[in-house]
Structures are given as C-alpha cells and as structure tokens.
Amino acid sequence: MKEIKRPLPRVNELDTKDFWTATKQNEFRYQQCDSCATVIFYPRRHCTGCTSGKLQWKVSAGKGTVYTYSVVRQSYHPFFRTVAPYTVAWIDLDEGPRILSNVIGISADEVSIGLRVQIEWEEHEELHIPLFKPA
C-alpha cells in the first residue's frame, strides 16, 4: 500500500521562501519592522502596522503558549484522515508571532489553553514543518 504523505507548502513563493529555507536548519524565522517594531508573521514584504518595507528577520527560540485550539475528529484529506483525531492550535510564540499548527505528543483531551509548548520539527526533503509538543 502506498504511503499517504502530508501536503506541503510551496517552497518557491517569493514572500515565504526565506522562512521555509530556514526550517531546513530547524529555525523558525519571523519578521520585525525596523520603523515601528511590529512583529510580522506570515512573512511578507511590508509591515502590517505602518506599511514600511524595512523588515528584519529574527529567529524564535520555538517556545510558546497555546492561545486556543480545536480537535479535528474527521477529515476528508487522505493524510489527515489517517491521523484523526488531532489538535490544531494557535500558538503564541514568546517573541510575539502567532502560528497555526498541530499539538503533538499528547492526546487531544490533555491540550488546554495556556499550555506551554515547544517546536518539534517534522522533517521532509525540501522543508521542515513546525509542530508543537508540551514543553
């Protein structure tokens, strides 16, 4: 039987290419505006606070807190159907970015708002996916 693989993002998108390239070194990069200090994630070419184009890349330590979450019990995508139920959560990283990802390593009923988590990288040939496990 053929292994069903996780769908992966495109690594050649202009705005997100640098982010995905850095994941190969297990680095979670986000941007911060030089003009107004707004933290920006998902990567883009301008600040979402002041529209400046003066953005610097920063590297997160990969630790954060579950802001909110949902448990997916049924999925129609072949890959996700094989891993349901699974937890999808908005994670607030300590440096300021908020990312939508999966909480792994614990059952769905153990996940809670405020749970401290850290990145666990899922490795693929072209990129690594940032998932989160309890810290």
Ramachandran bin of 99, using left for φ above 0, alpha for ψ from -120 to 50, beta for the remaining angles: beta
Task: Quote the mean pLDDT of the chain.
Answer: 95
Confirm if 20 and 14 have CB atoms less than 8 A apart.
no
Instruction: Report the percentage of the chain scoring pLDDT > 70.
Output: 99
Chain segment 35-78, per-residue pLDDT in tens: 999 999 999 999 999 999 999 999 999 999 999 999 999 999 99
Whether 134 contacts 116, CB under 8 Å: yes
pLDDT tens for 22-36 read 999 999 999 999 999
- 0.75 surpassed by pTM: yes
Query: Confidence band (pLDDT; 50, 70, 90) for 95?
Result: very high
Q: How far apart are CA 122 and CA 114, in angstroms?
A: 23
